[in-house]
A and B are shown apart, each in its own frame.
Chain A
Amino acid sequence: MTGPRVGVLALQGDVREHARVLAGLGADVVTVRRPEDLAGVDGLVLPGGESSVIDKLARAYGLRQPIRDAIASGLPVLGTCAGLILLADHVTGAIAGQETFGGLDITVRRNAFGSQAESFETDLDVPAFGGPPVHAAFIRAPLVERIGPGVRPLAVLPDGRIVAVQQGALLGTAFHPEVTGETRFHQRLLDAVATSTPVPGGAEGAPIPALTKLTP
């Protein structure tokens, strides 16, 4: 018996690290570079990388709308770092013309901590997991600046700033669980896959209500 089929968006970024974690949890991992690669996928990971580059390539190769449609029809998605930015309805610090897939009712700030010299590792309590803290690597990381009423913060820094969120079947982290051996966010994605009811017709699912808005 094979595990759930989980796609990793593979236009640019740390695809290999996500694929390794997912495979370790028993998922059947496929890389997604074309709209047809989304067929039969039960869940999706948007990896770390450069959000502006991934956005550009996703639009150039016709992936943006199919991914928006899949999110609207309830596909479970985990986004880390650049992936969190791509899941956000609003982004500050975006480059001119940058868009996102959207779905999470949040505002994310790109490069919120500054240059690479400010990249850091720390331990985070994630009450939803219980158990030991999450060891998190923040690499030129974004931050969640605002969350809508339906969004649940999963982790905050000691000063209260939000760095992981969940809204329905959508999960986002500002840090990279895939590079520290942390598997619980990916497991949570697989749990969401196990409990989600596929919407018949996929692409004809409910439209995403708010248009993506970006503030340069």
Chain B
Amino acid sequence: MSSTTGTDRVKRGLADMLKGGVIMDVVTPEQARIAEDAGAVAVMALERVPADIRAQGGVARMSDPDLIEAIIAEVSIPVMAKARIGHFVEAQVLQALKVDYIDESEVLSPADYVHHIDKWPFTVPFVCGATNLGEALRRINEGAAMIRSKGEAGTGDVSEATKHIRTITAEIRALTALSKDELYVAAKELQAPYDLVAEIAGTGRLPVVLFTAGGVATPADAAMMMQLGADGVFVGSGIFKSGEPAKRAAAIVKATTFYDDPTVIAEVSRGLGEAMVGISVADVPAPHRLAERGW
């Protein structure tokens, strides 16, 4: 009997196994070890967390393969890494490095202002950001096996994450209330393929896992994202830009599992030291808002 790798089912399936978990940005093998020990379900290997990319400016690219390999060697949980939007060769390199998931990410500088990567030919699955349902469906149509709402990375301000997860879930709910003959126009307005729109109108959920990202800095932030309907949480700068990363990481993991239990969230929120300082999204000038990258 033959076996097949890189199927849609195993690509989407890995994201299913991450549900209810926290995926943490790490920039060194030591941070990856702290993240795994704290209960991360996966780590995102990168050279600079979004807060530093934002502070230092310049073009942000795929990380050094040596760094990615060192992080893969350090941990037993899945390792993700970022490619620039549209940079299919960075994605080919990440696949050759045997990362477990590729994040085609607005946090890096886009390599193509028209096209995203055609993700279907890859064996390794992709996660992509989205600010609304239409964007999520365009990414799924291109082969994304997991979606994360974008938020505004590197700010520590959760308001954009809230807006994006609320937008996506509200747009899904709205679709389920439409009659069959209204779905054609809905697809046109969402700028998304009709078949995906019709599927979601029937099931009431995305055909892939939906995480949230961008500005999550506290256990309560993570729990709020879960209560708003996220399947799990990405935490970028929020952990290793804080006073006590190991403690904060473990607390966010617990708050994600017990997201509907305020007693647990209160307990794990005690004595975490300083949260990342952050910047208010309102103070980020529009050209520097990462969430607007992606088409």
Interface size on B, as a range, is 35 or more
Q: Which residues of A contact B7 (CB under 8 A)?
A: 120-121, 137
Contact B76 A110 (CB under 8 A): yes
Q: Does A68 contact B (CB under 8 A)?
A: no
B32-82 at interface with A (beta carbon < 8 Å) = 36-37, 39-42, 72, 75-78
A17, A116, A118, A138: the one within 8 Å of B78 (CB)? A116
Interface core residue of A13, A53, A111 (most chain B CB under 10 Å): A53
Q: From A136, which residue of chain B is reached at the shortest CB distance?
A: B3
Contacts of A94 in B (CB 8 A): 76
Q: B9 contacts which of A11, A81, A123, A179 (Cβ < 8 Å)?
A: A179
Q: Which residue of B lies closest to A60 (CB)?
A: B254
Stretch at the interface among B14-22, B108-116, B169-177, B280-288: B14-22
Which residues of A sit under 8 angstroms from B40, Cβ to Cβ? 53
List, in ascending order, chain A residues with CB within 8 A of B253's CB: 53, 56-57
Q: Which residues of A contact B18 (CB under 8 A)?
A: 49-50
Nearest-CB distance from A95 to chain B (Å)? 6
Main secondary structure of the interface of A (DSSP, over half): loop
Flag whether B1 is at the interface (Cβ < 8 A).
yes
- Chain B residues within an 8 Å CB radius of A22: none
What is the CA–CA distance of A109 and B217 in the complex, to the nearest angstrom? 35
Residues of B within 8 A of A118 (CB): 5
B interface, over-half SS: loop
Return B24 CB to nearest CB of chain A, in Å. Answer: 12
From residue A198, how far is it (CB to closest CB) to chain B in Å?
29
Given the interface contacts A12-B257, A119-B10, does A56 sit within 8 Å of B39 by beta carbon?
yes
**Cβ contact within 8 Å between B21 and A50:** yes
Tell me if B179 counts as interface (CB < 8 A to partner A). Answer: no
Q: Is the Cβ of A57 less than 8 Å from the Cβ of B5? A: no
Within 8 A of B (CB), among A63-122: 81-82, 93-96, 110-111, 114-122
Residue interface mask A14-31, B partner, CB < 8 A = 1: 111100000000000000
| Interface positions of A (Cβ within 8 A of B) | 10-17, 33, 48-50, 52-53, 56-57, 60-61, 81-82, 93-96, 110-111, 114-124, 133, 137-140, 158, 176, 179-180
What 3 A-B pairs are tightest by C-beta distance, nearest first? A122-B3, A116-B100, A119-B10
